[in-house]
Structure 1
Amino acid sequence: MALDIFKMVDTRKGLFAIEKVSLIYNLLTSILILFLYQRMDHPLRMLGDRALIAAVTFLLMYLYRLAPCKFSAFVRVTIQMSLLSYWYPDTYEFNRLFLNLDHVFASAEQWLFGGQPAIWFAERLPYIWVSEPLNMGYFFYYPMMLVIVLWYFIRRFDLLEKVSFVIISSFFLYYFIYIFVPVAGPQFYFPAIGMENVLNGVFPSIGDYFNHNQELLPGPGYEHGFFYNLVEGSQQVGERPTAAFPSSHVGVSTILMIMAWRGSRWLFACLLPFYVLLCCATVYIQAHYLIDAIAGFITAFGLYVLTTWMFKRWFAQPMFR
């Protein structure tokens, strides 16, 4: 296996599909920065970051020509996917300039369900045997992605480029929504308006409040739990008042499960419990309204079909010849 991974092969010289779509997203958001330049806090730094990401992408393509093998191809793919940790909070730098829409989504939640499921769920099940498995599922989001990519790398390398393209393109399409539909989610909005308003079903508009405030209160659940603290720690570091609707946690994890099903029924069965816990956790920890999770599940199937079509139509090339 090791010899196969590092075996030198004849490969194509250009960019991989995942790199192309990353550069396209890079370019489009750079243009948006120029349009919003006067209103943004640090547009030059953001443009500089994008130039650096583009430079690294082309450098990796060049280095790959020196040692073209499956492993170096895998490195190129995983580096692009690791950049999601930059692109996700970056959406906040755009949508903070627009009027917040949480009052619309919280009101819709109230109308549909007669209350706030995010509040009910956590208040009625604060126990460690509920909180810890759900937080474990939520924390498993990125490890689940890594498991899928590794499985295709090891078992179906011929599909690795397609799989990585579908994942990253789905993220970018969700990110475009987040830029222009600024919804922060209950964990940011409810503290901003006060729990008295929430319990009374009053959801005022807060305008551009999140342009200057990023307060994230501790989530509900068993506060001394191991996975509870892992989730809390990661949220305090990387979370922003952005990306609530639709839930990319639910959407992308659903796409991952489609890939698992198509790749291996055994892999699908192993991931299914984590997937269910993750979907439930998005509402339990108050990261999302229930309608966010539902929208994430529904849009996942459309995005999978769309991004698969995009890959076949515009980007499909054999990674190895």
Structure 2
Amino acid sequence: MTGRPGLLALDRLSIGYFAATGLAVLLFGGLPGAGIAAAHGLFIFGIIRLASWHPRAGLGGVIRASYAVLLTPALYAELAVLNRFFTQRYFDTTVQRWDAAMFSVQPSMELSTLLPWLPFSEVLHLGYFAYYAIVPAALVGVYRTRGFDALHRTAFAVAAAFFVSYLIFTFFPVAGPRYEFVRIGGEIGDGTLYRLVHGILETGSSKGTAFPSSHIAASLAAVVAAGREDPRWFWLLIVPEIALTIGTVYGRFHYAADALGGAILALAVCLAVYGTGFRSSGPGNPRPESRHQKG
């Protein structure tokens, strides 16, 4: 089953992100920026070519409706380079002041000090690790129960949360507590999941990507959007999402303001998608099926 050619809303969103960041680094990034801009231009060309491909079932349908989310790890990796084109500082002191103003303390330091219980720490670190399952589960799950257009709307919300986060990281880089504060020690630091999560971050994180928490923004957007399509996915995924949200602060991965900012961004994106008559299909394509139509 295929629709007639036409750009999907996700395509336009992705083109907008690649164009905005590509133009910015072309203007301010010198020769390295020109290379990144050229790569972004190739992505735009590829997305435009995708307009003639509209599978609505099987693996092809999943990829077509959610490819932008699949690209986000690569886009995340380039952020540590992108933000150096625009500023040589990190804005951690600003975010730390926000935390102090809201909570009178630094929650990212105080939570693990007040609750130094290994089982509790391991549960929260498992919650943080669950990020890698929440987004795929929401996307694949909603596709299985509600079909292509429901997947596309959910993926659009997730991609929008990622892209807005990445734009903020580019111009307002914040390193995060992991770089600013000492690591958690004692019994907690010997936890299996603690070591697993910190090991992953040591090898795969981009500096300057703390505010807002894209982990929370994207995963909560996935939970809320998937829940809007099929409430079962909200109730299945909200518990690990809560553990993820608390775990980002407890594990000193993010400031409390990062977590709050990510949650607000997720809810704002979902409100924009589901409160403004979002049209899933591109020009000339079939209009979205009912929320209750099986895929």
Q: TM-score, normalised by structure 2?
A: 0.83
Contact 1:88 1:175 in 2 (8 A): yes
- CA distance in structure 2 between the aligned counterparts of 1:176 and 1:109, rounded to whole angstroms: 22
- CA distance in structure 2 between the aligned counterparts of 1:61 and 1:153, rounded to whole angstroms: 20
- Corresponding position of 2:161: 170
CA shift at 1:282, angstroms?
0.9
Q: Select which of 116, 124, 140 maps to 1:134.
A: 124
CA shift at 1:283, angstroms?
0.3
CA shift at 1:307, angstroms?
3.9
- Corresponding position of 1:87: 75
- CA distance in structure 1 between the aligned counterparts of 2:29 and 2:132, rounded to whole angstroms: 32
User: More deviation in 157-166 or 73-82?
Assistant: 73-82
- CA distance in structure 2 between the aligned counterparts of 1:102 and 1:139, rounded to whole angstroms: 24
User: More deviation in 44-53 or 109-118?
Assistant: 44-53
User: More deviation in 220-229 or 261-270?
Assistant: 220-229
After superposition, where does 1:232-251 map in structure 2 within 5 Å? 232-251=198-217
- CA distance in structure 2 between the aligned counterparts of 1:248 and 1:266, rounded to whole angstroms: 24
- CA distance in structure 2 between the aligned counterparts of 1:184 and 1:222, rounded to whole angstroms: 23
1:37 has 2:37 as partner: no
Contact 1:118 1:285 in 2 (8 A): yes
Q: Cα gap change, 1:106/1:166 in structure 2, threshold over 3 Å: closer, same or farther?
A: same
1:226-266 Cα deviation digits (max 9, x unpaired): 43233123212221222222222223333223224323333
- CA distance in structure 2 between the aligned counterparts of 1:261 and 1:154, rounded to whole angstroms: 13
- Corresponding position of 2:172: 181
Contact 1:221 1:228 in 2 (8 A): no
Q: Cα gap change, 1:182/1:69 in structure 2, threshold over 3 Å: closer, same or farther?
A: closer
User: More deviation in 176-185 or 26-35?
Assistant: 176-185
Code of the aligned partner of 2:225:
M
RMSD value, Cα: 2.8
Q: Cα gap change, 1:122/1:60 in structure 2, threshold over 3 Å: closer, same or farther?
A: same
What SS does structure 1 have at the residue aligned with 2:209?
A: coil
Q: Select which of 271, 280, 284 maps to 2:246.
A: 280
User: More deviation in 174-183 or 105-114?
Assistant: 105-114
> Which has the larger Rg?
1
- CA distance in structure 2 between the aligned counterparts of 1:298 and 1:271, rounded to whole angstroms: 18
- CA distance in structure 1 between the aligned counterparts of 2:186 and 2:245, rounded to whole angstroms: 16
- CA distance in structure 2 between the aligned counterparts of 1:47 and 1:270, rounded to whole angstroms: 40
Contact 1:250 1:293 in 2 (8 A): yes
Q: TM-score, normalised by structure 1?
A: 0.77
- CA distance in structure 1 between the aligned counterparts of 2:146 and 2:245, rounded to whole angstroms: 27
Unaligned residue ranges in structure 2 (runs of 5+): 288-295
Contact 1:186 1:287 in 2 (8 A): yes
CA shift at 1:316, angstroms?
5.6
CA shift at 1:184, angstroms?
1.5
- CA distance in structure 2 between the aligned counterparts of 1:189 and 1:114, rounded to whole angstroms: 18
1:52-93 Cα deviation digits (max 9, x unpaired): 43354355555x36xx34121212234321110011232332
Contact 1:134 1:277 in 2 (8 A): yes
CA shift at 1:318, angstroms?
7.8
- CA distance in structure 2 between the aligned counterparts of 1:92 and 1:311, rounded to whole angstroms: 36
What SS does structure 2 have at the residue aligned with 1:312?
A: coil
- CA distance in structure 2 between the aligned counterparts of 1:219 and 1:268, rounded to whole angstroms: 35
Q: Select which of 269, 273, 285 maps to 1:303.
A: 269
Q: Cα gap change, 1:257/1:80 in structure 2, threshold over 3 Å: closer, same or farther?
A: closer
Q: Select which of 146, 153, 163 maps to 2:136.
A: 146
- CA distance in structure 1 between the aligned counterparts of 2:35 and 2:196, rounded to whole angstroms: 30
Unaligned residue ranges in structure 1 (runs of 5+): 1-8, 192-216
